Amino acid sequence: MAKAVVWKQVLGYIVAVIVIAAATAVLQVFGGHINPTTVALAFLLIVLFVAAAWGSKPAVLAALAGGISFNIFFLPPVGTLHISEPEDWIAFLSFLVTGITAGQLSARARRRAEEANSARRETENLYRELQDTFEQASQAKAIKQSERLKSALLDAVTHDLRTPLTSIKASVTTLLDDRRARLSAEETTHLDEAERTEMLEVIDEESDRLDRFISGMMELARIDAGEMQLRRDWGSIEEIVTEALARAQPLTKNHAVEVKIESDLPSVRVDGRAVSEVVYSLVDNAAKYSPSGTRICISAQRSGDEVIQMSVEDQGKGIGVELRDRVFDKFFRATRDGDVSTGRVSGNGMGLAIAKGIVEAHDGTIGIESGTGGNGTRVIFTLPIGDDDAVPVLKTA
């Protein structure tokens, strides 16, 4: 570094002398015709140039060299260092003082510019560092948020696995306890046949519940990974709804189910099994979150030329506007995480997330609004009618 600076200065001195010499030679060509003021101004220009490029010391050398050249070649008597006329003395001294001062000023300006430059660079560096720090901080925040989300998901999954497991464990140990009491002929009340059967039924049903939960998780993982395979085929909405309602019958036996399907609906090219799953899921939710004896209405009609709009409506408590997007999140349960409660069992928080995945895989949309007269919940989803050219296997994101 230091070496480079020294070399630069030496170069400045050499250039100062050479340029003054060259200028002297050029000005000499004009011989005695040239005005000493012009020469002085030309040399002054060189001094300024050297000052701007190499700083004050080379500029002083340029001023001194220029002064000597001015004296020898352009002030009478020419060819000597001697100055005869007092006004020429004034011209010579004026040139020297002006040259040195201008050189100094110009060099100072250069230094200032350099300082300003380095200050700017420093500011830029600081800004970049700040930006990096901010980026790192926001990354850390994002990581923290995703960690929090993960732990919330884990909590939800743990809860959903443990609840059936608790019933299973309690049933099994009740049966074991009973068996032990019988074998040791203890005087406690034994379970009767109906009670033993009930315990076994609980184990059976809760094992199914665990299995459903695991299947749901797999389905969600497939949707998340964009690997949902749609088997599209032409079919009628009515068939899809009928199939879903038949399956949901055990869940809806305490509700009045009403079906309103527009009479001349065209066939749709969808994955019938998947759409039926959507309807089943929505009806299941409607039954779970609305009181016994109330009405559940399933409707389907055309919405424009290319789209069918379907809805499932219940007469439950409804879902607050602020929760209407969140209920489609994985594992979100309004009964537990929101403020909606019915005093009934809640689902596993996957039904609506899967329904959304299926509807979106069909290029449809799904959303929630209040039911008729502002009461209850209406889930609305759309399905494009589809055509034969549609890609048979659709991938979702």
The residue among 289 and 328 lying less far from other proteins, judged by its C-beta, is 289
The residue among 229 and 341 lying less far from other proteins, judged by its C-beta, is 341
The residue among 346 and 382 lying less far from other proteins, judged by its C-beta, is 346
Query: x/- contact string, 146-185, with other proteins (CB under 8 A)?
Result: ---------x--xx--xxxxxxxxxx-xx--xx-------
Shortest Cβ distance from residue 342 to other proteins (Å)? 7
Residue closest to 308 by CA, chosen among 262, 361, 355: 262
The residue among 198 and 224 lying less far from other proteins, judged by its C-beta, is 198
| Interface segment toward other proteins; rule CB under 8 A; list 128-136, 189-197, 253-261, 265-273 | 189-197
Pick one of 336, 372, 393, 395: the residue that binds other proteins (CB under 8 A). 336
Q: Tally the residues of the chain.
A: 397
Q: Is the dihedral of CA 47, 53, 58, 59 positive or negative?
A: positive
Pick one of 86, 343, 373, 374: the residue that binds other proteins (CB under 8 A). 343
Shortest Cβ distance from residue 251 to other proteins (Å)? 14
Shortest Cβ distance from residue 333 to other proteins (Å)? 10
Residue with tokens 């589809």: 386
User: What b/e string do you get for 212-231 counting C-beta neighbours within 10 Å, with b at 16 or more?
Assistant: ebeebbebbeebeeeebebe
What is the distance between the terminal CA atoms of the chain, rounded to a whole angstrom? 56
Q: Is the dihedral of CA 368, 372, 377, 381 positive or negative?
A: negative
Pick one of 2, 81, 188, 374: the residue that binds other proteins (CB under 8 A). 188
Shortest Cβ distance from residue 377 to other proteins (Å)? 17
Shortest Cβ distance from residue 145 to other proteins (Å)? 20
Shortest Cβ distance from residue 169 to other proteins (Å)? 4
* By the rule CB under 8 A, 191 interacts with other proteins: yes
Alpha-carbon distance 326 to 217, whole Å? Answer: 18
Total residues binding other proteins (CB under 8 A): 35
* By the rule CB under 8 A, 342 interacts with other proteins: yes
Pick one of 195, 329, 363, 369: the residue that binds other proteins (CB under 8 A). 195
Contact between residue 58 and residue 12 where contact means Cβ atoms under 8 Å apart? yes
Residues that bind other proteins (CB under 8 A): 155, 158-159, 162-171, 173-174, 177-178, 188-191, 195, 198-199, 202, 205-206, 335-336, 341-346
